[in-house]
Structure 1
Amino acid sequence: MAGHFILMFPEAVGLPDMMLGQRTADLPLLVLFVIGGIPILAQLVIKLLRREMGADFLAAIAFVTGVVLAEYLAVSLIILMLTGGQVLEGFAMRKASSALNALAKRMPSVAHRKSPDGEITDIAIDEIDIGDLIAVFPHETAPADGIVVDGHGSMDESYLTGEPYVVGKAPGTNVLSGAINGEAVLIIRAERRARDSRYAQIMDVMAEAEQKRPRIRRLGDQIGAWFAPAALLFAILVGYLSDDSSRFLAVLVVATPCPLLIAIPITVMSAISIAARRGIVIRDPTVLERLPTCQTAIFDKTGTLTYGRPELVEVVAGPDMDDDLVLRLAASLERYSKHPLASAVLNAARDRKLPLDEVNHASEKPGQGLSGQVDGHEVAVTHRNKLMKSDPEIAALLPDTAAGLECVVLVDGKYGATFRFHDTPRAEGESFVGHLGDIHHFKKVMLLSGDRESEVSYLSELLGISESLASQSPEQKVAIVREETAKAPTLFMGDGINDAPALAVATVGIAFGKESAVTADAAGAVIPEASLVTVDELLHISMAMRRILLQSVIGGMVLSIVAMGFAAAGYISPVAGALLQEGIDIIAILNALRLAIAHDIDADIVED
């Protein structure tokens, strides 16, 4: 065996003398070997330890063989091919900070605790205890979940709900950790420790999602996984049968799948360029490879398939009640609600030019609705199901249910009115959902929302979505998306921070809108100016990219296979093989550039 090795690689015997400088003519090439080759050798060792055989494995084997055979010009060309591909790949894969970093940056490290005598001292947020009074100064972030005990103001909670609404705060209203305070100082009573707050729970879910993010192999690695060992076995067979080490090296050089190493990154960068011109930010270039393989589309509702702007469409007043009075009282109270419907009530009151009254107290507990004292009246905003259990006599006065959302307003314990709302679906929503199966080969479309069953069902029926799930928490969304991803590749679209964990575990996550940097960090692609037409363009860009990418890769590899035959017959030397492979690269690169230079991307749907 050792004798046969010497016959195949006689130059190896003289390698130490050469490395000492006796081949001075090769000194510049040796410098290139030291600078560019040693890192490549290190990467090869790591790959071998991981038992990985990717697209660059053959090139690395050819590199080592060229060094042993003192074919330094061929080695130099191989180094240039490998490093050039890595530079392009690194450029294409460059990303911004992680979602977890973005989440962590939102939270303060210090809280302002108010003592019984009124003195305020700074403490670490980990020292917050249940029942502590915490001062939240203007423009600060709430450090823990709590209830306002003093002060009137507003907070931005869009990071959690995905809704771009500012929520009014008065004594009795809830505060969520991570919410950004407005202009007034608010004193809150901590209801949870910082580590147990809702914001910390979302961070935990996000961290778990990041750890369990499915590892999906790149297309180049998938093809290289079978081509590399087959070509290596062929080269070994040629070298063994011919007893010619140069043929072994020549076969390896021309077999090096450079279209995988260079054409793929260039094609991906071309697609990223097209996407940028269409207003699409590609954060993870691998989404462009994965998107055409997705078979299940899962959508959040509010702000994704709808405009995220609920409208009050009807006020059904109770007996002896004036609808303007009920609307005025409800709108005055809704200033201090975090529910998305609050803004719809306020907008309706403004449209009717109704003055808003002072609120003496407000309270909003989960599942209990909104209540408070407004202009001497006890006002409560609740829902039908609660009334049927707590006060069936009032529930009997309610009108029949209708599609969409509704709430019931009580004034001084009497039935005031029923408010009916609709969150307007996007104009292009029905055509977009309808064409996913025929054009883009999706086999399943799901609607996944934290909203109530009535509104989710209404939208599902309107858009033709057969499967929908309502009242889903971030944890439940993650579980459902992970379950669906285990069955088939998934596309998930959402716009709020509560969608970030689900975006992270899906095969492809697309963030809608520009309200949350955290959502954007968790997604592979971001569409700032929310439009389903733009999503359709992204689908077509990914399809075109994959088609051209396969043309470049398969075409280049066919040419490489033909060249391998000539190299095996002794018609191509290692240096000539490296130059020939560069020619194949050029053909593959020119084809890859077609995507950026002259490829039109047209959506199937039109935004009304």
Structure 2
Amino acid sequence: MGGMTTTAPQTTTPTRAPDPWALFIRSRDGLITVATLVAIFVHLILWFGIGLDGWARDWPLVVVVVLGGIPLMVEVAKSAVATRGGADTLAAVSIITSVLLGEWLVAAIIVLMLSGGEALEEAASKRASGTLDALARRAPTTAHRLLGGTFAGGTEEVPVNDIAVGDLVEVLPHELCPVDGEVVEGHGSMDESYLTGEPYVVSKSRGSEVMSGAVNGDTPLTILAGRPAQDSRYAQIVGVLREAEENRPAMRRLADRLGAWYTVVALVLGGLGWAVSGDPTRFLAVVVVATPCPLLIGVPVAIIGAISLAARRGIIVKNPGMLENASRVRTVMFDKTGTLTYGRPAITDIHTAESFSEDEVLALAASVERYSRHPLAEAIRAGAEQRGLELPAVTEVSEKPGQGLTGVVGGRRIRITNRRTSHEIDPGSRDLIPVTASGMESIVLVDDRYAAMIRLRDEPRSSANDFIAHLPKKHNVDKLMIISGDRESEVRYLADKVGIEEIHAGVSPEGKLTLVEEHNRRGPTMFLGDGINDAPAMAVATVGVAMGAGSDITSEAADAVILDSSLERLDDLLHIGARMRRIALQSALGGMALSIIGMILAVFGLLTPLMGAVAQEVIDVLAILNAARVGLVRGPLSDFDEK
């Protein structure tokens, strides 16, 4: 078990993902946004710099409003039914009203807000293709097929899609396994953590199953292809993620939910003023006052402040829309490894033969494991360090396929291996090594005789139990569960440790996706994970959070990435979402309340269209200043202290 050195796979440098700014300006809405900014700038120069007025001053605005505003209003009209109205609908009415009033600058500003919001949403939607691109860049592309299907004929490098079921494939050291299959020659290990999320290197010998995308260790392995590349486990995960992205449920924006009824109120009041007075300018004045800038500007300003605040606390927000829903989450689903656990194994107990003590065996094993970078080796070294053991010198160290890590310590031959090899070397160990149904293990042989079994597990974080109790008390979470592809005994062990009752063990990526979809129908959900197998569930959850930035694919699929995998930072994210939503609502509802007062005054003719435009600008400034408070936090936000 110990002793296999794992290094980064030798793959080609991946192509860089598209730059977000490039995606922005290549979109139609992005071009309209840039053109509108230029038009407003030119207009201001003509007005204040040169002193022109009338058409000579307004022509840049007229051009951009006509050429850019018409396509936007067509899109707004198409989506009005689907979104049941919203801020965009009233903005379109405001553009028309501003044009009729000759307020071209107001119309251009509204075009700017509409197009900018649409372009940002379109750029954010590229996350789906970005995630799939990251998966595609990492996928194995070539394989070393044995010529003639025999070991004597040498190998040829072929595209992975040319591998057929039954082909023999050589997997070189530190290479990505190209297809699913079975080991037929060789003994070594593979790092499957990228696929499974479990922080272990898995021993492989004849008869072992292997997965496409796993990273081979130091020893070449020959595998028998069990299925073509397009049907591999890796390809299935890609397919599930693609389906999850394509079928992601649409979330109505806060501005749309508030704007739906606000639009109705504005149009009814405008129509009432027109009907009572017979003067159409009453309608125009009402709609000008009703221009939904607190929604179109106030909410985005609050979101930008929240993104900045999150970044200062080591949280990268990938999908700004997530912030509107983070504080509303009622169901939280954890992957097992790297979320509630540290993502690294630790010694849980040591079973020794009669003539050995725990400290003696641990010191011998840790001495040899100093020459290995295997995850279990690191755990054994850490265990010896915690006990303050002095490690004796190693005079020889070697690692032969199938024999484990071997060293000579004080004239004694120390071998660290697995249960199967131990039985082969010392048949008497069959009766001495206890049966275990959970965790990982390393068998220590001294002079080829069983000395000890070191059992290891990925232990829960010291603060995990307190954090699980914290979520219902402080964040109104009423359902908690662990969803993992690991064995039920391991998942139940963690759940009992941290105080979670509901578990789902042995779950595939497809199964995780199904569970999230089921709970999405119940209310907003949050899924936390750190492996490729978690990406589909993250993509479809209301809020998907990646703990750590170890996988670019997982980070792309997530709505937010917590860089240091800290539960306190996760609590920060929930508080930031709640703060953003609270202040955004203050700005939006406060701004709309003031606008409604102005609309009522306009209905009775107490506000002219020009006065209404000035009043609306004052309301906008107040809403924006209030929204900017989101990012102005210097002290702690979290009320959970991770120990």
TM-score interval, smaller chain: 0.7 to 0.9
Q: For 1:242 and 1:284, how far apart are their aligned partners in 2? A: 47
Corresponding residue number in structure 1 for 2:145: 113
* Cα distance change on mapping 1:309 and 1:55 into 2, 3 Å: same
Deviation track 1:531-582 (CA, whole Å, cap 9, x = no partner) reads: 0011111111111111111100010000110010111122323333223212
Q: 1:469 to 1:419 in 2, by over 3 A?
A: farther
1:205-604 mapped onto 2 (5 Å cutoff): 205-317=240-352, 344=379, 358-361=399-402, 372-373=420-421, 377=425, 398=434, 405=439, 419-598=454-633, 600-604=635-639
Segments of structure 1 that go 5 or more residues without pairing to the other structure are: 1-22, 364-368, 382-390
Structure 1 contact 56–256 (Cα < 8 Å) conserved: no
CA 1:88–1:234: 2 relative to 1, 3 Å: same
Distance 2:624 2:640 in 1: 32
Cα deviation, residue 455, structure 1: 3.2
Measure the CA separation in 2 of the matches of 1:191 and 1:37: 57
8 Å CA contact 2:289–2:612 kept in 1: the answer is yes
Q: Deviation string for 1:510-537 (max 9, x for gaps)?
A: 1001221111111100012110011111
- Range moving further from structure 2, 277-286 or 145-154: 145-154
Partner SS, residue 307 of structure 1? coil
Counterpart pick for 1:58 among 73, 90, 99: 90
Greater mean deviation of Cα atoms: 144-153 or 551-560: 144-153
Q: Deviations over 1:96-135 (max 9, x none)?
A: 5532221121113333322035343333322211221223
What secondary structure is seen at the aligned counterpart in 1 of 2:500?
coil
In the alignment of these two chains, the number of paired residues is 562
Instruction: Rate the CA distance shift 1:474–1:319 in 2: closer, same or farther, 3 A.
Output: farther
In the aligned structure 1, how far is the partner of 2:292 from the partner of 2:520?
31
Q: Alignment partner for residue 102 of structure 2, among 50, 53, 72? A: 72
Farther-moved stretch of structure 1 (160-169 vs 426-435): 160-169
State the 1:83 CA deviation.
1.0
- Map of 1:19 onto structure 2: none
For residues 163 and 454 of structure 1, the distance between their equivalents in structure 2, rounded to whole angstroms, comes to 15
- More divergent stretch after superposition (213-222 vs 126-135): 126-135
What is the alpha-carbon distance in structure 2 between the residues aligned to residue 44 and residue 118 of structure 1? 65
How far apart are residue 288 of structure 1 and its match? 0.8
For residues 131-175 of structure 1, the C-alpha deviation after alignment (integer angstroms, 9 at most, x for no partner) is: 212234555432212344556766443311324555566665543
Q: Does the C-alpha gap of structure 1 residues 468 and 181 become closer, same or farther in structure 2, counting only changes over 3 Å?
A: closer
Q: Which moved more, 1:201-210 or 1:582-591?
A: 201-210
1:125 matched to which residue of 2? 160
Contact 1:371-1:379 at 8 Å conserved across structures: no
User: Cα distance, 1:348 vs. partner?
Assistant: 6.3
Q: Structure 1 residues 372 and 285 mapped into 2: Cα distance closer, same or farther (>3 Å)?
A: same
Higher mean C-alpha displacement, 95-104 vs 517-526: 95-104
SS in 1 for 2:327: helix
Maintained 8 Å contact 1:549/1:592: yes
Per-residue CA deviation, residues 302-331 of structure 1 (Å, 9 max, x unaligned), is 111011222223222357899878998999
Specify every segment of 5 or more residues in structure 2 that has no aligned partner in the other structure, as ranges.
Answer: 1-53, 405-416
The TM-score with structure 2 as length reference comes to 0.77
TM norm structure 1: 0.81
Q: For the Cα contact (< 8 Å) 1:131–1:189, is it kept in 2?
A: yes
The equivalent residue for 1:103 is 135
Change (3 A) 1:360 1:321: farther
Paired with 2:465 and 2:244, the residues of 1 have a C-alpha distance of 31
C-alpha contact 1:312 1:419 (8 A) present in aligned 2: yes
Shift of 1:185: 5.2
Root-mean-square deviation over aligned CA pairs? 3.9
- 372-381 or 102-111: bigger deviation: 372-381
Q: CA deviation at 1:410?
A: 11
SS at match of 1:420: strand
Question: What is the CA deviation profile of residues 162-204 of structure 1, one whole-angstrom value per residue up to 9, with x for unaligned ones?
Answer: 2455556666554321123466654433222212211112112
Determine the structure 2 residue equivalent to 1:4. none
Contact 1:428 1:533 in 2 (8 A): no
1:37 aligned to 2:69?
yes
